[in-house]
Structure 1
């Protein structure tokens, strides 16, 4: 799965301010809906997933996505990326500054997750993503994976 084919400038929101985890997940999902990757019901499934287990991954990153039974609402694979420099509390003292929403068609979510994990495992990349001033900077960091 080539990241540059699913992470476009239009999928990236920079310098957002969010008050709650719920608001963060809904915004992450609404980008996926607005860009035509998923049906609106997918956002509900993202909220359900968060209730089952937190999508906080550590290192200021959360990866909201739907439940196992949400695949029916995915039209095509896509990513939404939301930068929250001030952070949003995901509970338990976990502060999220980068939200990466994913929707994977068939089993493509596994390779998407793998690429995200590679990028986000480097603290230097996290710092660059949090301080990025343009969507192009974000895309460049993820393109380095392929």
Structure 2
């Protein structure tokens, strides 16, 4: 059975986090809870963040695991955290949208490029930040599933 990469269960609105690490852990936990990754994948996400920030600009960060973390991915998945208050990703870069990615096999780059296209439009990011329902946020990613 084929699973959708993004479901309403992997979307969290109005998240309130203390720091970047907590935000990345939460994005990873949503993927764990939906059976996309093993819990150890969260550690790989944090490792990636320590070596290279996943903040891409436009109030968006895309945390994902290191190459070593690929073996912890059970199936591809995306989690989305809406953080209206923002979380500091270093150098004063405030992320209000976190998109956690776990790409199985070669799907990683394809998922990443689709997300980058959505996030390149400031209007889309603004809609994500101000979405009042999961459905509203979800609809922006129609082409990703």
Taking structure 2 as the reference length, the TM-score comes to: 0.95
Dislocated runs of 4+, deviation >4 Å:
none
Show structure 1 runs of 5+ residues with no match.
none
Q: Which runs of 5 or more structure 2 residues have no equivalent in the other structure?
A: none
Judged with a 3 Å threshold, the aligned counterparts in structure 2 of structure 1 residues 111 and 144 are, in CA distance, closer, same or farther, namely: closer
Map of 2:65 onto structure 1: 66
Question: 1:62, 1:41 → 2: CA distance?
Answer: 20
In structure 1, what is the equivalent of residue 115 of structure 2?
116
> How many residue pairs end up in the alignment?
143
Q: Deviations over 1:5-47 (max 9, x none)?
A: 2111111000111110000000010001111000000000001
CA distance in 1, matches of 2:32, 2:140: 24
Matched ranges for 1:38-49 at <5 A:
38-49=37-48
Contact 2:58 2:125 in 1 (8 A): yes
Cα separation, 1, equivalents of 2:9 and 2:18: 23
CA distance in 2, matches of 1:81, 1:145: 13
Q: CA deviation at 1:138?
A: 1.2
Map 1:1-146; keep pairs closer than 5 Å: 5-143=4-142
Distance 1:36 1:58, change over 3 A: same
